[in-house]
Structure 1
Amino acid sequence: MNRRLWEIDALRGLMLVLMTLTHLPTRYADPLGQPFGYVSAAEGFVLLSGYMAGMVYTARERRDGEAVMREAFLRRALKIYACQAALLLFLFTVIALIGVLARQDAITNLISFYFEQPVTAFFSGLLLIYSPPLLDILPLYVVFMVLSPLLLLHGLQHGWRGILALSVLLWLLAQFDLGRAVYDLSVALTGLPVPFPQTGAFEMFGWQFLWVMGLWMGSVQSASRDPAPLVFPPWLVRTAVVIGVVGLVWRHAVGQLPFPGDDGLNLMFDKWHLGPLRVINLFALLVLTLHFGTRVAARLPRLRVLETLGAASLPVFCAHLVLALLLLAVAGDAGTPRAAWIDALILVGCFAVLYAVAWTSGELDRRTAAMRRQLRSQAADAALSVAVRARAGGRR
């Protein structure tokens, strides 16, 4: 299990690197975005996060019971919510002020709703309703973490078939704008003043599919005492190879949009709704990773940098958003004319900051864990001492 955990950390670190390259406003954002086909780092990150949640919290439930597992989920959800609230406050104060003083359109356009209705934007942002661009994925995580104990317990007690079927149904309805229908109903019932485009680009009912898939795979992996390695039929591996190669070549030959000028066909690859062809491309890459990953990893040196980033995924993710927002406020968007060496220097500096954040977070986690072990040991010694004195007193 430990061996597989470092591989997952390295994969999550890779996803963070790709997301950072995409979000930092440099000339490298477009050519390095979606480098493996019509799949972005966000899909891989959500799937891996769901997998880790399923694996870790299933083990927690088996070891400590249902109540402890629920509490652990809630603590994590509150931690993610605190990160989102802090990022919103940073955006609405520091970044907004810099954007106004610098007359930076990249910022004033990014949070135009906040400038128009600051009070509504502030409180609806804290309620996870208003989700500005770049800050619209952590609200998904909060919701997923809150719902995950119910899903996990049902899966452990009754099986995953019904949950997976419902998840697929919701994803299918999301392709027909289920999220917009729910929003319209909410407006009709409550008079919600936040415009639909300001509620976030990610279609939650579509993206829950990846989280549920990851949660299921991680839970099954953790619950199995001696899990057998996945073996795919040769025809599936060959099909995945074809789809993966076609997606890779198509992406870099045509560009980020697979069908330039045809919005209808592009919906099949749509990121925000998690379009069907995008899911097929993702699953092909998943099959290839699971089939060839172990052999490839055995022949490559361990990338400790990626492992460090992946092990501190939440702090690194938040730090990369802070850096992206600061750069948008100070330097403008990716279309702002700058020398190539400046953009390269920006990337080097930002990744140095992210690694420092990850390393510091890891050190704090290690020291906290060591302190807890010491306190538990001291408590055990104290309890033993009390027991010994009580026995001695009884003999007298």
Structure 2
Amino acid sequence: MGISLHKSSTVKGPGTLPGPSSLQPILREERIDILRGWALITILINHLSQVVEADGLTAWLIPTPTRYGYSTAAELFVVMSGYMVGLVYLARASAARAVIRRAGTLWLYNLALLGLVLPLALFMSPAELRFWRLGPFLADPLQATLQFMTLQKAPRLLDILLLYVTLMLIAPFAIALHRRSPRLLLMASIAIYLVAQVLTIRHVSADPSHNDDGILKLMSWQLLFFGAMVLGAWRVHMPLFRWLDGNWRILALLLGVFAVGAVARADDVARPEWFTGRYGLNLLRLSHTILMLLLYASLLSVARRFLQSAPLRSMALIGRHSLDCFAAGLLATYVLGLLWERLGGGLILYYAAVLGGLAITLAVANMRESRKKAVKHGC
């Protein structure tokens, strides 16, 4: 998140595989920005929907792909974040140092968000404190804050950046392995994921109260991040988009597979227990994540002439300033969620909250873009 795709010089490091020359400038690909922006918009809508669902409102909620499949926008967010690390940071000689600095920035953002969110806990009911997972900060503020600062636990929604920071702190080790052999890193990441699946199945099956939180979740989700990091270093989006451009047959195939999955989800078609939500990033969820990435890429490639339309330009703008937009959307979700409850709830207020959250996110993106242009022109 928050990594720009402006042209930049790159340095060829050891272990680089054949593909686009790592000495070539990195060119902005508008479709990548749109994908990142779409992920943030979907996350915002999903989070506000979760707020109202927890209060019993379940009908006529805004449909997102999350409701018609087995993956969420969070997976897309992690994949795109890892891809950007590979695309932008691995081209630098000091990639590990740059990643650590970025992790520090993300950690400070999350700490600032905690500082802004905590005062809201004073106005929450016990049920709301449980939902937002803020109870520990009132019961034992020191311990809860220390656990947050050491990346152990986080309130609802702030755990996304916590995972991101953790992955970025591990990234220097992955970068070192990538310098030796990108394929070795990819195989190691896949192996860790498969081990995590076996351990998760054993752990979760042993007790109904167990889930994949903690190290098991990290072992699974690292594949999305580091696998995408390898692909970003290879710049696979370039041949992928060339293959998908104008390819209606591929789009039809992907839409067909998506439709089959949506029907299966709606009809609650029987599947193995370890393919359910309790088991975290299982193979079904991972496969659906890959499907959605390909589907989005295909849609943007077939509809390339619409890339300069106002909605897609807005998505791209949000994607270019993803860290600030994510932070703004997260804070807006807390505030708007509480306002929705205090004002009596209901469907109309839910729609208003979503529109408000989107407006805030876009306003932040425009503000950051204006500031960026002002700095560029020395204003």
Change (3 A) 1:173 1:337: farther
**Offset, 1:316:** 1.0
Is contact 2:42–2:73 with CA below 8 Å preserved after alignment?
yes
1:166 aligned residue (171, 185, 188)? 188
SS at match of 1:338: coil
Q: What is the rounded CA distance, in whole Å, between the counterparts of 2:175 and 2:222 in structure 1?
A: 14
Change (3 A) 1:330 1:279: same
Aligned to 1:48: 80
SS at match of 1:353: helix
Which piece of structure 1 moves more, 236-245 or 166-175? 236-245
CA displacement, residues 9-53 of structure 1 (integer Å, 9 cap, x when unaligned): 111111111111111134565743604522211111111111111
**Offset, 1:86:** 1.2
What TM-score does the superposition give when structure 2 sets the normalisation length? 0.76
1:353 aligned residue (334, 348, 360)? 360
User: Which amino acid is the alignment partner of residue 248 of structure 1?
Assistant: A
SS at match of 1:128: coil
Q: What is the rounded CA distance, in whole Å, between the counterparts of 1:367 and 1:127 in structure 2?
A: 37
Q: What is the rounded CA distance, in whole Å, between the counterparts of 2:252 and 2:350 in structure 1?
A: 39
1:332 aligned residue (329, 341, 362)? 341
1:3-152 matches, within 5 Å, as 5-24=29-48, 25-26=51-52, 27=57, 31-32=63-64, 34-35=66-67, 37-59=69-91, 61=92, 65-66=93-94, 69-92=95-118, 94-99=119-124, 103=125, 105-109=127-131, 110-152=133-175
Change (3 A) 1:14 1:290: closer
**Offset, 1:273:** 2.1
Is contact 1:131–1:199 with CA below 8 Å preserved after alignment?
no
Is contact 1:240–1:287 with CA below 8 Å preserved after alignment?
yes
Q: What is the rounded CA distance, in whole Å, between the counterparts of 1:46 and 1:269 in structure 2?
A: 20
Change (3 A) 1:18 1:98: same
What TM-score does the superposition give when structure 1 sets the normalisation length? 0.73
Change (3 A) 1:75 1:177: same
Between the two proteins, what is the percent identity of the paired residues?
Answer: 26
Q: What is the rounded CA distance, in whole Å, between the counterparts of 2:121 and 2:325 in structure 1?
A: 22
Is contact 2:36–2:319 with CA below 8 Å preserved after alignment?
yes
Gapped runs of 5+ residues in structure 1? 182-194, 375-396
User: Which amino acid is the alignment partner of residue 43 of structure 2?
Assistant: M
* 1:244 matches 2:258: yes
**Offset, 1:229:** 6.0
Is contact 2:318–2:362 with CA below 8 Å preserved after alignment?
yes
**Offset, 1:140:** 1.3
SS at match of 1:175: helix
Is contact 1:152–1:215 with CA below 8 Å preserved after alignment?
no
Is contact 2:83–2:230 with CA below 8 Å preserved after alignment?
yes
Is contact 2:333–2:357 with CA below 8 Å preserved after alignment?
no
**Offset, 1:96:** 1.3
Q: What is the rounded CA distance, in whole Å, between the counterparts of 1:289 and 1:329 in structure 2?
A: 33
Q: What is the rounded CA distance, in whole Å, between the counterparts of 1:301 and 1:271 in structure 2?
A: 41
1:317 aligned residue (313, 318, 326)? 326
1:306 aligned residue (315, 333, 354)? 315
User: Which amino acid is the alignment partner of residue 47 of structure 1?
Assistant: V
Is contact 2:211–2:278 with CA below 8 Å preserved after alignment?
no
RMSD: 3.6
Change (3 A) 1:29 1:175: farther
Q: What is the rounded CA distance, in whole Å, between the counterparts of 1:129 and 1:227 in structure 2?
A: 39
Is contact 1:140–1:204 with CA below 8 Å preserved after alignment?
yes
Matched pairs, number:
337
Q: What is the rounded CA distance, in whole Å, between the counterparts of 1:9 and 1:80 in structure 2?
A: 19
Where is the helix percentage greater, Structure 1 or Structure 2?
A: 1
CA displacement, residues 57-98 of structure 1 (integer Å, 9 cap, x when unaligned): 123x1xxx23xx333212211110001111222233x11112
Gapped runs of 5+ residues in structure 2? 1-24, 204-208
1:204 aligned residue (188, 193, 218)? 218
Is contact 1:34–1:41 with CA below 8 Å preserved after alignment?
yes
**Offset, 1:323:** 1.4
Which piece of structure 1 moves more, 36-45 or 24-33? 24-33
Which piece of structure 1 moves more, 296-305 or 308-317? 296-305
CA displacement, residues 231-268 of structure 1 (integer Å, 9 cap, x when unaligned): 599999887554322113333x34xxx46xx8x83531
